[in-house]
Structure 1
Amino acid sequence: MTIKRRFTTAALATALATLLAGCATTPQGPLSSAPVAPYADTLETDGRLSVNYLRAGKQESISGKFSWRQSAARTDVTLASPLGQTIATIAVTPGEATLKEGSKPPRSAADVDTLSAQVLGWPLPVSGLRDWLQGYAVAADGKRVAVSPAQPKITTRDGWQLEFVSWQEGVTPPKPRRIDASRGAIGDIDSIDIRIVIDGAAAQ
């Protein structure tokens, strides 16, 4: 069962309205050309997701919350409904990713992005998010590069078009606040747009 199937139509409409209101950005001051903070292997953060994708000519929309914990050798993600009910947990270690959805037995695969698409019904780019949440991305040439408020757009090596729409206020060096990610066909999905809002982050 995907996250979408757990939401009623009315609840989803309310959740999306609430999420989009929270995602609205306020005007920022002059753009900074300062780079983001140095990349950190350890990161803890929480936030919200809004996902829209097209499959077989049908538009699908889902939303929810996420909790993110990463170290140099492990990533743990918890996906929850807008009301905070845990929907799925993902654990990524070298060479293996495990996703557990509700009371179902856990499923494992070598590639976490493929696994998330198979189980959730849409691709959650966990591998990319290790960089994105800190203002970095792996560019088309395979190099990890930093974005900035003055240069907020980049296309990744695996085809995601990223725009770092807003940044956390009063934080120096800059840290992302909202990230919009989109890409064309992937698997059986014709196109997908993901809006990521970071509610707080702590790098160690």
Structure 2
Amino acid sequence: MRMPTVRLAALALVFLAVLSGCTTIGAPSVPASTATVAPYRDTLELSGKLSVTYAKDGKPEASHVRFNWEQTPERVDIAITAPPLNQTVATISVTPQEATLTESGKPPRRAADIDALSAQTLGWPLPVSGLRAWLQGYATAAGGKRFIASPAANSVTTADGWRVSYVSWQDGVPGTPPKPKRIDAERGATGQLDDVSIRIVIDAPQPE
């Protein structure tokens, strides 16, 4: 089912970041089954695919988009493209002061934060704040404890009720920290909204 462009745009908020890094030269290799992800990075670039499915009042909805993500310590810029022509349908900028969403041919929309902006455009909660950490292999678990993903510890229920699973990992150099490739996030019914499922596949090469 085709969703309005504004929904496609907000999906890109999910965007978010993936890690890269190498072990110290001369350090022993860490088995992939036990290694945790690399330290969190504030500056990075990536691209990938995002799919979301949900149901409201029993009516199923779904959307599939691509995104390009650029992040610095001061801001995040996201471009959303729609298949099959991969035309840019929206851009999103996030700073500590505000979030701005601009659809093609329409005036920008602004909100104090990205979560509020996604709620205005979608009408259902998109976990944008959480995704910034999740896509790097981190999360805040129930009870406030920090979660760090690895192939051996690949799922967590977050403090705000999302079930996050690291389904697959990037093919990397042996001995380097694993990097997320596919991440699934699910949440049960909230209010009038039925279950929500988000799938992100990071497919861009990651700089070392």
TM range (shorter): 0.7 to 0.9
**Aligned match of 1:63:** 64
Instruction: Give 1:1-204 correspondences, 5 Å limit.
Output: 3=4, 32-83=33-84, 84-171=86-173, 172-186=176-190, 188-200=192-204, 202=206
C-alpha deviation, 1:152, in angstroms: 0.4
How far did 1:122 drift? 5.0
The answer to whether the 8 Å contact 1:96/1:108 transfers is yes
Shift of 1:169: 1.3
TM-score between both structures, scaled by the size of structure 2: 0.77
Partner of 1:52: helix, strand, or coil? strand
RMSD: 2.5
Q: CA deviation at 1:94?
A: 0.5
1:200 counterpart SS class: coil
Q: Deviations over 1:182-204 (max 9, x none)?
A: 11234652221011000125468
Using the alignment, how far apart are the partners of 1:114 and 1:187 within structure 2? Answer: 17
Conserved in 2, the CA contact under 8 Å of 1:2 and 1:120? no
Contact map agreement 2:51 2:62 (CA 8 A) in 1: yes
Is the Cα contact below 8 Å between 2:7 and 2:121 reproduced in 1?
no
**TM-score normalised by the chain length of structure 1:** 0.79
Structure 1 152/181 Cα, relative in aligned 2: closer, same or farther at 3 Å?
Answer: same
Q: Which has the higher contact order (CA 8 A, sep 6+)?
A: 2
Output the amino acid matched with 1:110: A
Looking at structure 1, the residues matched to 108 and 115 of structure 2 have their Cα atoms a distance apart, in angstroms, of 15
How far apart are residue 133 of structure 1 and its match?
1.7
5+ residue gaps in structure 2?
Answer: 9-30
Q: Counterpart of 1:173 in structure 2: which amino acid?
A: P
Percent identity over paired residues: 59
Q: Distance in 1 between matches of 2:191 and 2:75?
A: 26
